[in-house]
Amino acid sequence: MKVSNETRHDWTKEEIEKIYHQPLLDLVYHASKTHREWHNAREVQVCTLLSVKTGGCPEDCSYCGQAARYHTDIKVEALLPTATVLAHAKKAKEAGSSRFCMAAAWREVRNNRDFDRIIEMVKGVNELGLEVCCTLGMLTEEQAIRLQEAGLHAYNHNLDTSEAYYDEIISTRKFDNRINTIQNVRKAGITVCSGGIIGLGETHQDRISMLLTLATMPKHPESVPVNALARVKGTPLENNPKVDIWDMVRMIATARIVMPSSVVRLSAGRIEMTEVEQAWCFMAGANSIFTGERETLLVTPNPGVTEDMQMFENLGLLPMVKQETAQTCTH
């Protein structure tokens, strides 16, 4: 199959279906080729994710242990002090991260003192020379502008799943709310980090449909996280089957082909993958990972930084430096 080398925004469902359903090794080969045409395949961006406000969220995302309504083991924590967050960011930089992402379990940003403190944190992390990313829930255009002025580089807001399957997973907001926030982020000139989760019980069609939404945006998200469901005890999806590694590879490879300039991030679920399985994901075009301190990713287990650096050495990979990250983004 001939795959275009141009960034396209007019993909059809049929085209993406055809790519997604190729024999796996053909798909990985094409994705790997695309990856090498657009990126330095030896480099992988290392992003550190810190939960700056944990749990107690009023939303009902059925995959999330931070939703107040589920009985999980996650401890609710108020917004961390700015100095604590900056100390974490400094440590992340020293450990090789080029991007620092701060996550708050909020439904939406409110114009209150907590938001003023987030603005302070964004300024502080930016001054450390790290790319700053936030994920804070829904955002108005005015709030996005404030974050941009404080130096925010990227805003994470995942589509989660397809529009058709959305109501099965979350009832407290609509798919369109996600799109609106992404548009507000774009209008403010902040880069977009948006992907989704597989393993929620969705069909292959839902996965293709989610990729279609992302790949037909007027501008592709600069970062596309592909998450495997982390099954959190106490959530409605705790007993879902483990995501098959080949489904993960297929999803990453298709994302790589349809959004060739984006950084495709192998996100949640790495803890359940072997190094060999992660190597397949890198081969399929993943060029970013999340690390979390204390071997957690937000509130779920994640490999530690030392383990990741050993994996990089074994696979001949290098942590991407900030300037090179900027070159691979399309902003």
Residue 170 C-beta: closest distance to ligand SF4, Å:
7
Q: Does 42 show up as a binding residue in the annotation?
A: no
- For residue 16 the two structure tokens come to 């993406």
- For residue 190 the two structure tokens come to 């902040």
Residue 134 C-beta: closest distance to ligand SF4, Å:
13
Q: List the one residue out of 98, 135, 113, 147 whose CA is nearest residue 221.
A: 135
Q: Does 133 show up as a binding residue in the annotation?
A: yes
Q: Does 61 show up as a binding residue in the annotation?
A: yes
Q: Residues interacting with ligand SF4, by CB under 6 A?
A: 57, 59, 61, 64, 66-67, 105, 137
Residues 6+ apart with CB under 8 A from 96: 46, 305, 309, 319
Q: Does 329 show up as a binding residue in the annotation?
A: no
Residue 313, classed as helix, strand or coil, is helix
Nearer to ligand SF4, 59 or 222 (CB): 59
Nearer to ligand SF4, 124 or 137 (CB): 137
Residue 162 C-beta: closest distance to ligand SF4, Å:
17
Paired sense of beta strands 263-266 and 288-291, if any? parallel
Cα Rg, the chain, nearest whole Å: 18
Residue 173 C-beta: closest distance to ligand SF4, Å:
8
Q: Which residues are catalytic?
A: 57, 61, 64, 101, 133, 193, 265
Nearer to ligand SF4, 269 or 285 (CB): 269
Q: List the one residue out of 268, 234, 302, 272 whose CA is nearest residue 55.
A: 234
Nearer to ligand SF4, 227 or 254 (CB): 227
The sign of the torsion formed by the CA atoms of 310, 314, 264, 274 equals negative
Q: List the one residue out of 151, 103, 146 whose CA is nearest residue 127.
A: 151
Report d(CA 16, CA 209) in Å as an integer. Answer: 9
Q: Does 193 show up as a binding residue in the annotation?
A: yes
Annotated binding-site members for [4Fe-4S] cluster:
57, 61, 64
Annotated binding-site members:
57, 61, 64, 101, 133, 193, 265
Annotated binding-site members for [2Fe-2S] cluster:
101, 133, 193, 265
